[in-house]
Amino acid sequence: MKFNASFKYKNSMVTALMEIEGAKKVVDILPLPPSGVLSLKQVARQKASRGSVAIEGNPLNHREVLQAVAGTDRTPTEHAQEVRNYWRALEWLEEKVSESTVINENFIKNLHSMIMVRTVGRRTKSSYRTGECPIVDTATRQIDYAPPTPKDVPKLMKNLVDWVNSKEASVLPGPVRAAILAHRFVSIHPFDDGNGRTTRALATAELWRSGYYMQGFISVEEFYDETREAYYDNLQMHLPVNFYDGRHDPDHTQWLEYFVAILNKATTEIRLKAEQLYKQQTIDDAPWLKLSKRQQQLLMRLVARRTDSDKEPLVFVPSDIISWFEVSKQTAHEWLKEWMSSDFVIPFNPGKRVRYYTLTNKWLDLVEDVKQLTTEMENQ
């Protein structure tokens, strides 16, 4: 059966959507100092990763999140692995959105597999669940939600991706489309585990794909976590426990009101921080924007490493590249060769058996500036 998104616009929603659009326009066009841009993006990535896994009970604090992201140990704790996975998923989404990738079932299965991978090595695309997966209240042991049966999942997912790419969905505001996509996905609950994290990443993907990337500054996940009880209440919308008793064709208005209000809060905060940076600092060219996505992502990883520890030289090894970006040894060495030729990185200990690398002075200075700004923003 074709999926039709049912909802009503409320005055509060319309007002919030207008304010979101206003904040977006300011952030998109406001010239900011290069270190400030990278710092805002760094803070957003960190808060998004921490916020999404915290909702599921992950206890890692700010410092531990930085350690998880900057580390490359092959046997991390389960909590550290969850953070790494979400951070990597956001990097992957950033790349796919820049390529104008369409959200289809393969996209969703690959996103889920990235969020759920538990070991270093090759990922395999996720498969839909083949068993029942009721959501049980941990205190009362009663079923909070009974998702659709496994046999219906493939059909429901096909209908969902058909809808998100339909003419009907294309005329909706991006935030509305992202909210409905997220709610329908989590209602279908297509995987055995990781549906919540995938839901939140999918909403972010649709926001970015719809033009609400906002220079990478946006982090809605932290606001879900801050309003965790309201987040779950509005997902539930006082609907019956069983999917087939009303959740298969609900009125999404309540969830949309919450989602748009949260997004308005997030984008307003971003706008205020961007305006503050604009007023306080001298604007120079941002040479890092000319770097490839991979180079920018490496800078952010190294900012995390520097923020976690500023006592040691800022170095990395080829195995770090392999672990962070899930590439082969040969690819890592090809990247390093290319980066050295473009004056991005240099060997740290030439002639030694174990090759360490560091950034050239121009980029090291930028990392130090970003680290200082990031620390200041986190303490505000």
pLDDT, position 190 = 97
Helix residue spans in 7-61 (DSSP H): 11-29, 34-55
pLDDT, position 246 = 84
Q: What is the mean pLDDT of each run of 10 residues along the chain (380 residues)?
A: 89 96 93 84 92 93 88 85 94 90 95 84 82 82 89 97 95 97 97 96 96 92 94 92 90 97 96 86 64 89 82 87 91 94 88 81 87 72
* 359 sits in which H/E element: strand 357-359
Using alpha carbons, select from 205, 333, 218, 303 the residue that is nearest to residue 265. 218
This prediction's pTM: 0.84
pLDDT, position 86 = 96
3-state secondary structure string, 127-193? CCCCCCCCEECCCCCCEEEECCCHHHHHHHHHHHHHHHCCHHHHCCCHHHHHHHHHHHHHHHCCCCC
Taking CA atoms, 94 is separated from 4, 90, 208, 267, 297, in Å, by 29, 6, 8, 18, 10
Say if CB 186 and CB 247 are below 8 A apart: no
Domain 11-280 of CATH type 1.10.3290.10:
yes
The domain limits of the chain are 11-280, 289-378
* 347 sits in which H/E element: strand 345-347
Taking CA atoms, 340 is separated from 130, 293, 304, 318, in Å, by 48, 16, 22, 13
pLDDT, position 184 = 97
For 289-378, the fitting CATH number among 2.60.40.10, 1.10.10.10, 3.30.450.40, 1.20.120.1200 is 1.10.10.10
* 207 sits in which H/E element: helix 195-209
CB-count burial class (<10 Å; 0-12, 13-18, 19+) for 294: middle
d(CA 321, CA 332) in angstroms, rounded, equals 6
pLDDT, position 104 = 96
Instruction: Supply the DSSP symbol for 281.
Output: S
Q: What number of H helices and E strands is found in the chain?
A: 16, 4
Say if CB 304 and CB 318 are below 8 A apart: no
pLDDT, position 117 = 81
d(CA 121, CA 112) in angstroms, rounded, equals 16
